[in-house]
Structure 1
């Protein structure tokens, strides 16, 4: 499996520090979720016409790929709404950009709120199928994240079932099915199987007030080991990407400590699972 981190974890870093850290860590890829003050991937300076070629060269020289564009596109607005149409335009622009730059995945959401809040599921399903059809010949998969009402992996499997097989897929955020639906990783993998194309990892506990408290890897109760073991047994070879939510939670620890700890923790965990499975 490959390791990466999301730029959501380092909102105060410029591109040079992001890329330099990734290279120093020796990770495989970066998930783009904003750079400095800009969250819209189509407005980030490194991707504009003036800087794009330089960015490509820098990535190639560092041996690092853009693993995914983690967009803010939401699908759950009511059918026919102006907001819903605007979201579709954004999504198609990002699919085109990903296709032109060899980026394999674009993430979309049912709702921005990761909790199971109301959304227009039939409208979202139709929009998702349209986006997958649009991406079908572009070598890009449109990944729906396992959050919100789609934290329930059985619902998520049904949600994507009618979309174009060549361009559909699931982003499994390990935390949300566990927190929102009390799902064990074995059940999530049983329901979604090979549709899991990308995995986000983080660790946390629920405090006495019922709020999620994010912690360094291994210091929470998210079943990361079990999830990765299920993925290993399934033959998954994709990304395990740290999503450290410092952009939204500035009180969280700084990324320079968190990122390196993630790398060490995950490399040790992967080695343990590999040794266990070989015995």
Structure 2
């Protein structure tokens, strides 16, 4: 039996470090803890506390910082593009490094982007993704880390991501999906359709709101924009999926929007008041 709407677990709320660019680990932990988040998604980048060149000891220390605060590192947010044109070697190498880093940090997954050409070349995009993910499948399994393909860019809809993950070459592989709530809807796929497509692989849902139904729209505080977030929860609830919900507040890309503290407060209010 699915949870009643008003019983949606408050403990399911997580937050991405995208919302606090240039912040220290301590600053990010303090904000996440103040809003009783249970998990985090950590960006990997040269100007972030989590970088590809971290030593094993430093990566382990990052993970311990979050565990000590009661925060689970659900995923490292990489920028590896598994569908991108070019040779497989550099992409596979990047996947392997991020899998190693995730294990050292203690993260359950590594977010990857499609980054394909799209259009008439979508078949080639899919083939590249399947080939590259399959190449590291054994290592992902051995490290206890899932590679999580996000609904994004060339593969914005749930059906696009499912087309890759449903390949026979990835059957039983340590792969999954991240549902960015905005991208499928902007591409014309309704939440109930997205959940139906991604259910076998869904790791977590990135919640956000926007001011318009178009790509690149300015973020809005959760519940104050036009994205049908109630339908997102209804679609998840109908299939017995109750989290995690990860706030992805795009402060790194939209400097003028409110701080993460305000965004988390709005998200907690929206989640607490949701009645289906």
TM norm. shorter chain > 0.5: yes
How far 1:224 sits from its partner (Å)?
A: 1.3
Which of 20, 27, 35 aligns to 2:37? It is 27
Task: Please say if 1:15 is aligned against 2:25.
Answer: yes
Q: 2:203 aligns with which of 197, 204, 223?
A: 197
Q: Distance in 1 between matches of 2:45 and 2:80?
A: 17
Distance 1:197 1:53 in 2: 23
Deviation at 1:251, TM superposition (A): 2.1
Shift of 1:65: 1.3
Gaps of 5+ in 2: 1-8
Aligned length: 262
> Which residue number in structure 1 is paired with residue 150 of structure 2?
145
The alpha carbon displacement at 1:50 in A equals 5.1
Instruction: Give the direction of change, closer, same or farther, for the CA distance of 1:40–1:59 in structure 2 (3 Å limit).
Output: closer
| Gapped regions of structure 1 (runs ≥ 5) | 274-279
Whether the aligned pair in 1 keeps the contact of 2:222 and 2:267 (CA below 8 Å) is yes
Deviations along 1:95-124, whole A, 9 cap, x unmatched? Answer: 1222344311111111199x9796641222
The match for 1:220 is 225
| Match of residue 266, structure 2, among 261, 264, 275 | 261
Distance in structure 1 (CA, Å) of the matches to 2:263 and 2:119: 28
Task: Name whichever of 209-218 and 166-175 sits farther off.
Answer: 209-218
Aligned partners of 2:269, 2:46: CA distance in 1, in Å? 26
Give the Cα–Cα distance (whole angstroms) in 1 for the partners of residues 24 and 217 of structure 2.
Answer: 28
Distance 1:161 1:17 in 2: 39
* Counterpart contact for 1:144–1:170, Cα < 8 Å: yes
Flag the 1:166–1:187 CA change in 2: closer, same or farther, 3 A. Answer: same
**1:73 Cα shift?**
0.5
Q: Distance in 2 between matches of 1:52 and 1:77?
A: 28
- 2:177 aligned partner: 170
Question: In the TM superposition, what is the alpha-carbon distance from 1:206 to its structure 2 partner?
Answer: 2.3
2-side partners of 1:134 and 1:39: how far apart?
A: 25
Distance 1:54 1:39, change over 3 A: closer
**Counterpart position of 1:38:** 48
C-alpha displacement at 1:218, in angstroms? 0.9
Q: Secondary structure of 2:249's match?
A: coil
TM, length-normalised to structure 2? 0.84
1:32 positional shift: 0.2
TM-score (norm 1): 0.83
Give yes or no for contact 1:132–1:167 (8 Å, CA) kept in 2: yes
Shift of residue 3, structure 1, vs aligned partner: 0.9
2:4 aligned partner: none
Deviations 1:115-164 (A, max 9, x none): 97966412222112223343123221111111123223223212111214
Deviation at residue 78 of structure 1 after TM alignment? 2.4
